[in-house]
């Protein structure tokens, strides 16, 4: 195969992978990983089944890749939102981010919470992604509460994690007021 044809073929394959992941991202977040079958993803992505298996190997790996993309984007968004914020104020500022997220037009709750609740197999690769994200998040909360100078930063960080979980789940059902309520409580916790 000539070099130009190989390059064109490779670009097409990269495009197919992205189309599959984009379709999965949109469908899984809006409708759930169990509700959306592979044929639907393939149709939305305008891709052949062979492309799915070539790039992801299985639906389970596609689900894991979807969550991995979501977690990377969430980390980048959180870090960008907190950039320039003094370390001592980051824990509270994080809850401003939660409020803004809950108020966004595409908000449908936490993709990790949704996906993990649908996957009963503890060995599913998406659960590993979710676990890693939770560990990253717990570490950030510990850093932020320590920087804030609260008396028991470990316990406060765990309480903020619970507030976050409730804020996101509650906002999905009741609207963004639940995120605002969580921010109010976070301020109280951080004030000691």
Q: How far is the C-alpha of 84 from the C-alpha of 158, rounded, in Å?
A: 24
pLDDT of residue 3: 57
Domains of the chain: 1-57 (1.10.10), 60-191 (1.10.357.10)
pLDDT of residue 12: 54
Per-residue pLDDT band at 14 (split at 50, 70, 90) = very low
pLDDT of residue 1: 56
pLDDT of residue 10: 45
Residue positions counted in the chain: 192
Surface-to-core class of residue 138, CB atoms within 10 Å of its CB (0-12 exposed, 13-18 middle, 19+ buried) = middle
Nearest to 118 by CA among 29, 39, 41: 29
Largest CA distance in the chain: 68
| Residue in the structure block whose two tokens are 């670009």 | 11
pLDDT digits (tens, 9 = 90+) for 127-161: 999 999 999 999 999 999 999 999 999 999 999 99
Q: How far is the C-alpha of 169 from the C-alpha of 99, rounded, in Å?
A: 12
pLDDT digits (tens, 9 = 90+) for 43-86: 999 999 999 999 999 999 999 999 999 999 999 999 999 999 99
| Residue in the structure block whose two tokens are 């009963």 | 120
Dihedral pair phi/psi, residue 168, rounded to 5°: -70, -45
Hey, what are 110's tokens? 């936490």
pLDDT of residue 49: 95
Q: How far is the C-alpha of 189 from the C-alpha of 192, rounded, in Å?
A: 5
- 9, pLDDT greater than 60: no
pLDDT of residue 192: 77
Mean pLDDT of 4-23: 69
| Residue in the structure block whose two tokens are 């804030």 | 148
- 98, pLDDT greater than 60: yes
pLDDT digits (tens, 9 = 90+) for 17-41: 999 999 999 999 999 999 999 999 9
């Amino acid at each position: 195969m000539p070099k130009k044809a190989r390059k064109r073929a490779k670009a097409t394959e990269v495009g197919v992978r992205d189309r599959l992941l984009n379709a999965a991202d949109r469908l899984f977040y809006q409708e759930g990983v169990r509700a959306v079958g592979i044929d639907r993803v393939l149709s939305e992505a305008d891709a052949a089944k062979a492309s799915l298996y070539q790039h992801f190997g299985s639906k389970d790996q596609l689900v894991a890749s979807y969550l991995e993309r979501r977690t990377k984007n969430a980390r980048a968004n959180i870090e960008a939102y907190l950039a320039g914020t003094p370390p001592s104020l980051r824990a509270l500022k994080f809850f401003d981010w939660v409020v803004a997220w809950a108020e966004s037009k595409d908000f449908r709750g936490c993709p990790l919470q949704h996906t993990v609740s649908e996957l009963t197999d503890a060995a599913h690769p998406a659960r590993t992604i979710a676990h890693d994200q939770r560990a990253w998040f717990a570490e950030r909360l510990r850093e932020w509460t320590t920087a804030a100078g609260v008396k028991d930063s470990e316990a406060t960080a765990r309480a903020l994690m619970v507030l976050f979980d409730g804020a996101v789940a509650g906002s999905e059902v009741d609207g963004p007021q639940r995120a605002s309520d969580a921010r109010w409580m976070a301020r109280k916790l951080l004030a000691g």
